[in-house]
Amino acid sequence: MSGAAPGGVLTFGEGLMKLALPPAQRLEELGNLRAECAGSELNVAAALRTLGRPAAWVSGLPGGPLGDWVRAHVRALDVQDLSLERPGRLGTFYLEDHHPPRPSRAVYDREGTAFQALTAADLNGSWLGGRSALHVSGISLALGPGPRALALALVGAARERGAVVSFDVNHRRLLLPDHAAADTYGPAAQRADLTFVAERDAELFGGAEGLRALNPQAQIIVTRGARGSETHLPGGEVITQDAFPTAGPGRVGRGDAFAGGYLHAYLDGGSPREALRFAAACAALKTTLPGDQLRASEAELRAVQAGSETDEPRR
């Protein structure tokens, strides 16, 4: 993959080591862990790539074996690695995966990371060369002044070049207090062509209407978990989509698969209705897989949308 091929997308965000506990286990009984390469914007890049679209990822990583570990994962995902080596840690988080009514839980350990050492001065003019779109998320805006400045600089550069700007609010309550959300994420929401937001996070802006007030032109895509999703169009029309029934170990990352799928269909010229339906199918297939990244072909996604799969093995 040559990286800057036509239709390609650049994503920007932190890479992390997810330390996943065995299902239903609590940190207090910690013993075996599974290390997985994580990061919302890397997941979006991986979703775009599995769908056949060139994708590249800008990040900040430490040197040494832990940074090499992330880089090998990015290569295995066939995503172009544009990460910069910076001093600092590799951020980690522990993830407890529980059955309801016990909530699953992330415990972050992401202070002092290499990613946080990035600044707007790191902006490289070539990153966006030939790309069709940029994808950033609110996580980078919440992680500190350096990443925030670089994210917003990228948004500005993308707009200048006429690239599509995709923004996922992705509010993390353990990183940023609710009261700071609107101010922190607003500058990106104002300039995005596509804004993804979970229903509960939209309330921090006063709902979809609040986001519309910030940005009259964006498609505002509100995800509602098992209750489906909806796209608010600039003219006020709201398109709704049910969630496809699904199950499996892959709840983490389904929002990223959704965003990646929507962006992919949008760049392919799909209508909002088509993009929303395609994104819902991506989220459904992501849920069936372990790990944080979607793997699926367009044919598999068509089958999900057609509802043609049975419970019988293919043999």
Q: Among residues 4 and 33, whose Cβ is nearest to a second copy?
A: 33
Q: Among residues 172 and 273, whose Cβ is nearest to a second copy?
A: 172
The token pair that represents 222 in the structure block: 């509100």
Closest to 277 measured CA to CA, from 261, 298, 255:
261
From 168, 193, 201, 256, active-site residue: 256
Are 82 and 56 within 8 A, CB to CB?
yes
Q: Out of 29, 121, 160, 299, point to the residue binding a second copy (CB under 8 A).
A: 29
The SS3 call for residue 94 is strand
Tell the smallest beta-carbon distance from residue 315 to a second copy (Å).
4
Tell the smallest beta-carbon distance from residue 3 to a second copy (Å).
13
C-alpha 204, offset from chain centre: 19
Of residues 71 through 100, those in contact with a second copy by CB under 8 A are 72, 75-76, 78, 89-90, 92-95, 97-100
302 binds a second copy (CB under 8 A): no
Kindly report whether the peptide bond that precedes residue 101 is cis, defined as omega within 30 degrees of 0.
yes
Q: Among residues 209 and 309, whose Cβ is nearest to a second copy?
A: 309
Tell the smallest beta-carbon distance from residue 81 to a second copy (Å).
11
CA–CA gap between residue 60 and residue 58 (Å, rounded):
7
Tell the smallest beta-carbon distance from residue 268 to a second copy (Å).
22
Q: Among residues 215 and 291, whose Cβ is nearest to a second copy?
A: 291
Of residues 45 through 64, those in contact with a second copy by CB under 8 A are 64
Of residues 261 through 290, those in contact with a second copy by CB under 8 A are 284-285, 287-290
Using CB under 8 A as the binding criterion, the count of chain residues that bind a second copy stands at: 81
81 is catalytic: no
Q: Out of 66, 84, 152, 233, point to the residue binding a second copy (CB under 8 A).
A: 66
Of residues 112 through 131, those in contact with a second copy by CB under 8 A are 112
Tell the smallest beta-carbon distance from residue 233 to a second copy (Å).
26
Q: Out of 130, 156, 225, 270, point to the residue binding a second copy (CB under 8 A).
A: 225
130 class by beta-carbon count within 10 Å (0-12 exposed, 13-18 middle, 19+ buried): middle
Closest to 283 measured CA to CA, from 249, 244, 227:
244
Beta-carbon contacts of residue 297 (< 8 Å; ≥ 6 apart): 50, 51
By CB under 8 A, which span of 65-73, 123-131, 153-161, 264-272 interacts with a second copy? 65-73
Are 165 and 192 within 8 A, CB to CB?
yes
The token pair that represents 12 in the structure block: 């920007």
203 class by beta-carbon count within 10 Å (0-12 exposed, 13-18 middle, 19+ buried): middle
| φ, ψ at 48 (rounded to 5°) | -60, -40
User: What single letter denotes the amino acid at residue 184?
Assistant: T
Residues assigned a catalytic role? 256
